[in-house]
């Protein structure tokens, strides 16, 4: 099983990492470690997050105010959004309709 970021989610991950790197390298490293821990959890327990509509789920990061919107698809876990909890709530919902 693998964790794959859809293109829009990969951009969000890069943008969030760049934002934290602008603050400090420790913040960026911490953010990436938080994402890595979430990915590891999803590999171990694909249904770890809260259910959303359809087969989509939501997993909160432990330290940073972000969530991963994902779905287990066959042998992969596909992440559709790396979304801040307070900025533009729900903007990613349109991605779930595709």
pLDDT tens digit sequence for 3-45 = 999 999 999 999 999 999 999 999 999 999 999 999 999 999 9
In a domain, 18, yes or no: yes
pLDDT tens digit sequence for 34-64 = 999 999 999 999 999 999 888 899 999 999 9
Predicted TM-score (pTM) of the model is 0.90
In a domain, 97, yes or no: no
In a domain, 95, yes or no: no
- 85 alpha carbon, distance to own chain's centre: 11
SS3 state of residue 55: coil
Residue in 91, 98, 36, 89 with CA at minimum distance from that of residue 71 = 98
Report how many domains make up the chain: 1
pLDDT tens digit sequence for 67-92 = 999 999 888 999 999 999 988 777 77
In a domain, 10, yes or no: yes
Whole domain around residue 11: which residue ranges?
A: 2-88
In a domain, 94, yes or no: no
Q: What is the CATH number of the domain that holds 9?
A: 3.30.2310.20
Strand stretches in 1-98, DSSP E? 2-5, 50-51, 56-60, 66-73, 76-84
């Amino acid at each position: 099983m693998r964790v794959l970021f859809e293109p829009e989610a990969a951009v969000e991950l890069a943008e969030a990492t760049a934002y934290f790197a602008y603050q400090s390298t420790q913040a960026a490293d911490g953010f990436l470690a938080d994402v890595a821990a979430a990915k590891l959890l999803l590999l171990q327990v694909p249904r770890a997050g809260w259910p959303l509509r359809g087969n989509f789920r939501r997993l909160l990061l432990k330290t940073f105010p972000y969530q991963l919107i994902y779905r287990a698809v066959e042998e992969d876990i596909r992440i559709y959004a790396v979304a801040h909890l307070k900025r533009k709530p729900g903007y990613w919902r349109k991605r779930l309709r595709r």
